[in-house]
Amino acid sequence: MIQRIPAVLMAAVFAVALGGCGGKEKKETAELARQEYADNRVEVKVMELQTRPFRRQIATNGKLRAGNKSVLAFKTPGTIDKIYVSNGDRVGAGTILAELDRTEVQNALTSALQNFEKAKIDLNDAIIGFGYENMEDPLVPERTMELAKIRSGYNVAELNLANARNTLEACTLKAPFAGKVATVKGRPYERSDAEFCTLVDDARLVVAFSVLETELDFVQKGNVVKVASFFDPENYINGHITSVNPLVDNNGQVLVEAEITNNGTFIDGMNVKLLVEKVVPGQLVVPKSAVVMRDNLEVLFRYRDGKAYWTYVHTVMDNSSEYVVAPNTERGADLAVGDLIIFSGNLNLANETVVEIKP
């Protein structure tokens, strides 16, 4: 005989089963809500707002020239005999660059030496004629010696000998300073009437540039400049201003010169980029990435209690990577030292967006 389960007991079992299923669904729903909340949080990076010196910059272009540059030529006419250098060679001070044929000059020197020796004999005879032992006699009056030199032709012979020696020395072209040889124009067996080459010392380079008269506060002597080539525009090297021309030209510009130490990548005549810097103390400075636009106005996002709150600002000054900011008081904004400023992950933020700080 089959036993029947009481209706009351069946109802109780059914109720328990229903209760169990409902609890599981509620737990899953809560978990999904928490996951959705976590997924909606935006990861951001923050910095603490502080006052510090700011490097204000203006950008301009300039042209380099070597700190020492000279066009070299032989000091005497002649035929080029030997050339020891070529374009691009680096030479030290005193290095022989080229030589002229010395045949005629050497003959002239030999003749000058002989004439000088003859003049010495004639001078000695003239001194003896004045009643003294010889030209070395210490008793010979100065006036008598001068008169004897004129009569013997000693002075002319001495001058001709000095000129012949100088001419022989001028047949050798030497580097007056250390540098690089450029634009060699001389050729063997050609006449030396024109320039032979250019010598460039580019270890130190001068860069000339212009600024507007309204930017004169940037360009005081000694101020820092940063210089970069156009083929490597992100690699700046530091220099300093050496002179400011005290005249404003017809275009309202002032000529400025600065000096840099060559790192091996710059050459004479190169066009370069410049950043002129001036340190302004005590400014609220943020990365450029911290400032975004909302409703055509500049905005910063501050982090507080897990949310991002925007505040309207003005960018007062800028350089290549940073802004100096001030609160937009017309919009009721404020800024304070110690505020946590969001500088990454802020492009799509809205006011009171839930955010999470990432390291």
Alpha-carbon distance of 302 to 284, in angstroms, equals 14
**pLDDT at position 29, please?**
52
Determine if residue 11 is left, alpha or beta; phi over 0 gives left, psi from -120 to 50 gives alpha, anything else beta.
alpha
CB environment 47-60: b (16+ within 10 A), e (fewer)? bebeeeebbbbeeb
Please write the tens of the pLDDT for every residue from 119-155. Answer: 999 999 999 988 888 888 899 999 999 999 999 999 9
Please write the tens of the pLDDT for every residue from 105-114. Answer: 999 999 999 9
What percentage of the chain carries pLDDT values higher than 70? 89
| Fold for the domain defined by 43-51+283-357 | 2.40.420
Alpha-carbon distance of 37 to 141, in angstroms, equals 116
- Smallest CA-to-CA distance from 202 within 70, 318, 44, 21 is with 70
Contact 181, 74 (CB under 8 A): no
Alpha-carbon distance of 220 to 56, in angstroms, equals 14
Q: Which two tokens stand for residue 352?
A: 């009171």
**pLDDT at position 1, please?**
39
Alpha-carbon distance of 307 to 253, in angstroms, equals 49
> Mean pLDDT over all residues of the chain?
88
CB environment 257-278: b (16+ within 10 A), e (fewer)? bbbbebeeebebebebbbbbbb
Q: Is the dihedral of CA 226, 234, 293, 306 positive or negative?
A: negative
**pLDDT at position 12, please?**
44
Alpha-carbon distance of 269 to 187, in angstroms, equals 25
Alpha-carbon distance of 177 to 158, in angstroms, equals 31
Residue 349 CA, distance from chain mean position: 39
Question: What 3-state class would DSSP assign to 74?
Answer: coil
DSSP string covering 30-50? HHHHHHHHHHHPEEEEEEE--
Alpha-carbon distance of 122 to 148, in angstroms, equals 9
3-state percent helix, strand, coil for the chain, nearest multiple of 5: 30, 40, 30
Please write the tens of the pLDDT for every residue from 197-210. Answer: 999 999 999 999 99
**pLDDT at position 40, please?**
67
* Alpha carbon distances (Å) from 3 to 6, 8, 22, 26, 149: 9, 15, 31, 37, 162
Q: Strands 237-244 and 179-182, how do they pair? A: unpaired
Label residue 13 by pLDDT band (50, 70, 90).
very low
Torsion of CA 20, 22, 26, 29, to 10 degrees: 120
Label residue 31 by pLDDT band (50, 70, 90).
low
This prediction's pTM: 0.61
Contact 92, 175 (CB under 8 A): yes
Q: Which of 216-220, 265-269, 333-337, 348-352 has the lowest mean pLDDT?
A: 216-220
Eight-class DSSP state of 173: E
The enclosing H or E element of 204 equals strand 197-212
Vertex 41: Cα angle to 35 and 45 (nearest 5): 140
Sequence spans of domains, the chain: 43-51+283-357, 102-170
The enclosing H or E element of 124 equals helix 103-129
Label residue 23 by pLDDT band (50, 70, 90).
low
**pLDDT at position 286, please?**
97
Please write the tens of the pLDDT for every residue from 233-264. Answer: 889 999 999 999 999 999 999 999 999 999 98
